[in-house]
Amino acid sequence: MQTNSGEYVRASTDGADRLVVATAGQVYGSDDAGRTLISKQATGVIGSPQSPVMIRELAISPLDPDLIFAATGSWRQETLVKGGHGVLRSDDGGHTWREFSNGLSDLDISALAFAPDGHSLFALTPQSGAYRIRL
């Protein structure tokens, strides 16, 4: 979804009423299916103004609704192409984020998917294919 400001919004839901939405450098959450969005005041990798992050997709763990992963990818700043941060992880519902790429050689992540048992995360890249990350 694209906002009026031109930023892209990525959303993920746990299948109930919880929703997590991200734009470049900001994360919002909702416990009422999106009727109200509350800023998570994200810190760590996503909240750093010195190093903006392009979030391509969010994924909420099917086993723990506070465990959220973000796929980050490359982006443009004027004429420069900036690299992605790989996979980011939040253990507290989106408030704090850390890098969680576990040795991925390609940090330009385009999509995320959980294994059916919820114990592995697949990170898809445009250049290198799919990676399996054990949780």
Domain of 46, CATH number, reads: 2.130.10.10
Residue 111 resides in a domain: yes
Edge-to-edge strand list for the sheet holding 129-134: 111-114, 120-125, 129-134
How many domains is the chain partitioned into structurally?
1
Q: How confident is the model at residue 116 (pLDDT cuts 50, 70, 90)?
A: very high
Residue 121 resides in a domain: yes
Flag whether the pTM goes above 0.85. no
**What's the pLDDT score for residue 6?**
42
Give the range of the structural domain holding residue 39, as residue numbers without chain letter: 10-134
Residue 74 resides in a domain: yes
Residue 5 resides in a domain: no
**What's the pLDDT score for residue 135?**
92
Q: Taking a C-beta distance cutoff of 8 angstroms, is the pair 67, 90 a contact? A: yes
**What's the pLDDT score for residue 4?**
46
Residue 4 resides in a domain: no
Mind listing the pLDDT tens digit for each residue in 72-109?
Answer: 887 666 666 666 789 999 999 888 889 998 888 888 99
Residue 51 resides in a domain: yes
CB within 8 A of 79, min separation 6: which ones?
none
CB within 8 A of 122, min separation 6: which ones?
112, 113, 114, 115, 130, 131, 132, 133
Mind listing the pLDDT tens digit for each residue in 5-57?
Answer: 444 455 566 566 777 887 766 788 888 877 888 887 666 666 565 666 778 88
